[in-house]
Structure 1
């Protein structure tokens, strides 16, 4: 069997829970304010899953939106890769297997990837490589998180940062000159305890200053690496879609590396940090708004717990 030359994202979907928790709502039970949260993070509100909504439920709703919006069939889906730090169960069965069952898919390869907020970048590269090798043909790649279940709602330094949601990308081969051009994945294990979910999945703990410094450097270095490897300049890039962690991180990176801030698509004001879900949610939102055009060169950049980081260069 001939290996496919080009792997591309053929469709996108998202789901955000109905409940919205604003900064003013948070200020009712934790010592903070809308002004402080906005000025330090850029966040205005976040979506919160219902108590009976699991990570798999969010992902399934994102997938159903993808198929309904594009009038596509699930026929031929033979792979499910789920990036999540908040699986339905901390152990087996994997959230990917549960999603396959809820979607009524029979026999796909299905597994989870734990790479923190960089998870979608890792999952996308794993699925791309498996399609390239012939192990999959059409794969659903998810970033899905129910972070409200692992937030310490008494810790004002972390509870203001996170939200719930899911994004989904359909990945498949094409003969057209488009798709994933390059990808890079990295990890710095020396910082592994700077951002963790402690006590078997019960609470997020973060060293804010260490993570901030790492994130600014990781975003910039990843962009520079992918540009250099592909003989491009920042002027060749139409969009940068970063993990949505903190507006100040993006501003600091733009200033340090002399990137035009307008290249970065940001929706953190309405979603907060949704970890592995943030990049696919942003992409789906961009598609719905008509911002993604054929031929555009787009960079996805992720960074987070691990400490992991990485990026994907794609031609739309």
Structure 2
């Protein structure tokens, strides 16, 4: 049962909030249609798209590794920011599932970028689907503390692995692969143009912890003691109804607190770029969030749910399509396993 907890009003971010001065994304070359999966599953044509609402999704092939996709996006972001890797003070990798439990994936991305000779730190930030949004906030905190001038935030997800095609294909059909990256710079440290990042808020409703899981690979199940249980738990599981109950109850109040912290109202938001979780989830954002449908960026039907890469890839796509222009306020918002909600305001 969702319970509301009174929270103190977060402070409005100062005008010295950092800016996103470089944007980049990378998508696997293969675009897999739901009709192809229908044939593989022995289903009638159109079954999967009807069941999950996703028509196509990018799927990584051998050689399109997580670190290569992430590095490709990072190079594009650095190029736009006019920076070299040697200018970076910190690399944050935000993803729900990394290359392996140990070590973190960030050093691997750094090595892929050719940065082994540079001493700047690189580590992972994991808040499942909200990982990149949280990593952007962490980057801002480092900049505000004077510990960094340029932070490279990278995400890459290969969400097409560990999916429950055998017993929940309507859930498995939601997911796709992708990568994105941003350069976060202190005021005056990078290009004059960019998008100011601020107004961040995150809340966690831990009663939903068991509603979205990938239980194998950590300390919960000992592979050597119970290999059968480990194998069963190596597939992604999601209780969509439980997730909906929590987010439906929490979202309106969460949005109120986020916008109030930024001294904004819903009518002040020019574009909403949500986590592309599912077509149903985006309908939920529109209905419960109080936004007009044409104000919400929706590409989930063609790219699927890219987990932590979802919001950043969608942001890059909206920008590439000319939907983000100077003087706009963009709301980034999403949910994650745990269950958490997070949002941030971009001022372009």
> TM-score of the superposition, structure 2-length normalised?
0.83
- Name 1:119's counterpart in structure 2: 131
The structural deviation recorded for 1:134 is 1.5
Contact 1:219 1:302 in 2 (8 A): no
The structural deviation recorded for 1:283 is 1.2
The structure with the larger Rg is 2
1:308 equivalenced with 2:340 (yes/no): yes
Q: 1:311 to 1:15 in 2, by over 3 A?
A: same
* Equivalent runs, 1:41-80 vs 2, <5 Å: 41-68=52-79, 72-80=83-91
- Name 2:147's counterpart in structure 1: 135
- Name 2:216's counterpart in structure 1: 199
Contact 1:137 1:173 in 2 (8 A): yes
1:102 equivalenced with 2:119 (yes/no): no
Q: 1:200 to 1:142 in 2, by over 3 A?
A: same
Contact 2:60 2:177 in 1 (8 A): yes
- Looking at structure 1, the residues matched to 69 and 158 of structure 2 have their Cα atoms a distance apart, in angstroms, of 8
Contact 1:138 1:170 in 2 (8 A): yes
SS at match of 2:93: strand
- Looking at structure 2, the residues matched to 269 and 72 of structure 1 have their Cα atoms a distance apart, in angstroms, of 34
Q: 1:137 to 1:28 in 2, by over 3 A?
A: same
One of 285, 288, 311 as aligned partner of 2:317:
285
Contact 1:117 1:304 in 2 (8 A): yes
Contact 1:220 1:253 in 2 (8 A): no
Q: 1:25 to 1:209 in 2, by over 3 A?
A: same
SS at match of 2:165: coil
The structural deviation recorded for 1:52 is 3.4
- Name 1:260's counterpart in structure 2: 292
1:28 equivalenced with 2:60 (yes/no): no
Gaps of 5+ in 2: 1-13, 219-233
The structural deviation recorded for 1:242 is 0.5
> TM-score of the superposition, structure 1-length normalised?
0.91
One of 261, 270, 280 as aligned partner of 1:248:
280
Contact 1:216 1:250 in 2 (8 A): no
Q: Runs of at least 4 residues of structure 1 off by over 6 A?
A: none
Q: 1:97 to 1:29 in 2, by over 3 A?
A: same
- Name 1:271's counterpart in structure 2: 303
Contact 2:20 2:185 in 1 (8 A): yes
